[in-house]
A = this chain, B = another copy of it.
């Protein structure tokens, strides 16, 4: 079920930030998608971010340099090779602050052209053809007039995976039992098996590595009792699916070595050695920022601070909003599955009882009434069932999506705090230079680092916003569709019951 919620195939994506025309499968639908990772000096992997303007502004690219081990350079150019290459990404060389574009390897021009022609061009054309309002329609939207700012570089072939087929397995001759899920990535279409504790291991690694940079939401809760009950297994699988789908949608996470290892390991040996390697990775946490290196100009400090404040306020308000929706949703769930259907059942039973009593009157010719009354009673008993089952069909997704967002939003305060600390440090830099405690070059370096973090935060906020728009559009439609069906179904049933009564 959770699959449906996140199945983006063949749909044009939400909003005006659309995928490149012609893409039929897209996990991230919000940015003009381009794929390009460069190997620099043979061991440095670049992530590109681009600043997207609705007006025809020049592309702004900045990069996360990764002191990576030897990924196959050839596999990084074009097509679906992007994903298969990520094993090179997360390896453990520690070369920080290197130039993104190495001498003699100027792919950026070509890449920019590609992007401009195929993505931005396609997007605008597509957008306007579909009459979605286009650029001009947005111009009234505040002073920034459609400016999005830095965005992550999204792969053209988005990654997705399907979790299915949970099986109870055991080891130590049956002494230990566990559930193993089959995880099939869209890239290889080859299933791998994982237990919950493997997901948990993946979560810990992602949190450690990216937690200061990106929101890594918690896994579905651990649970000790009832682990092998069917409903629990199904529910956990759906939540793992939602979690994995969200991770797959993130261009930085999805292309990381650890994530790729999890999805594409070939055998037990590769999994074990990959695990060991990953656990020794030292490029984690705030260290990640040392890998980010913008080609773009340093950002205006005041503007950055203002934006950060805005993000902070936004995530806080959305967190409040999401929590309120979750609260009322849970209350409503309880009512819809508890007292409300019980009441409909009682109403139905009361009608049927009355029908039985009426039948016992021996008064001739009231079969039409008693039959109709019985039918009405049965209808309300059916409605009771429909009511009780409804939350599973609509409220469920609304709550699951909002729970996910609660999880994501809970990660932002730290991310914003890390960034804020860096900005504060930069503010201090002037004083420190005057006091002769750091050099001007140190200060420049600090500025640069802080600027990278700002770019990164903005790209992440843009990622968050675009996903949020897609997700809420989708989940609200699903919710309302199901609600319409629900009320329509009841209206139709009651119309049927009504028709059984004699017209007076």
Residue ranges of A at the interface with B (Cβ–Cβ < 8 Å): 8, 11-17, 54, 132-133, 137-138, 141-142, 144-148, 310, 313-314, 317-318, 320-322, 324-325, 328-329, 331-332, 335, 339-340, 343, 346-347, 349-351, 353-354, 357-358, 360-369, 372-373, 376, 462, 465-466, 468-470, 472-474, 476-477, 480-481, 483-484, 487-488, 490-491, 494-495, 497-498, 501-504
Cross-chain contact A487 with B491 (CB below 8 angstroms): yes
Cross-chain contact B353 with A321 (CB below 8 angstroms): yes
In order of increasing CB-CB distance, the 9 nearest A-B pairs are: A487-B491, A480-B498, A363-B465, A325-B350, A146-B364, A328-B346, A16-B365, A488-B491, A321-B354
A484-B501 contact in complex given A364-B138, A364-B148, C-beta closer than 8 Å: no
Q: How many chain copies does the complex carry?
A: 2
Cross-chain contact B314 with A364 (CB below 8 angstroms): no
CB distance from A478 to the nearest CB of B (A): 10
A314-B497 contact in complex given A15-B369, A335-B339, A373-B472, C-beta closer than 8 Å: no
A335-B328 contact in complex given A364-B147, A369-B472, C-beta closer than 8 Å: no
Nearest opposing residue in chain B for A347, CB measure = B328
Cross-chain contact B504 with A474 (CB below 8 angstroms): yes
Cross-chain contact A15 with B366 (CB below 8 angstroms): yes
Cross-chain contact A484 with B495 (CB below 8 angstroms): yes
- Measured in the bound complex, the distance between the Cα atoms of B288 and A336 in whole Å is 55
Cross-chain contact B357 with A317 (CB below 8 angstroms): yes
Cross-chain contact A494 with B504 (CB below 8 angstroms): no
Which chain B residues border A502 with CB–CB below 8 Å? 14-15, 132, 473
Which chain B residues border A358 with CB–CB below 8 Å? 318, 468-469, 472
Which chain B residues border A318 with CB–CB below 8 Å? 354, 357-358
Cross-chain contact B313 with A360 (CB below 8 angstroms): yes
A357-B321 contact in complex given A148-B363, A491-B491, A504-B11, C-beta closer than 8 Å: yes
Of A317, A325, A501, most buried by chain B (CB within 10 Å of CB) is A501
Cross-chain contact B364 with A54 (CB below 8 angstroms): yes
Cross-chain contact A504 with B339 (CB below 8 angstroms): no
A133-B494 contact in complex given A12-B504, A347-B328, A362-B310, C-beta closer than 8 Å: no
Cross-chain contact A476 with B376 (CB below 8 angstroms): yes
- Measured in the bound complex, the distance between the Cα atoms of B366 and A384 in whole Å is 38
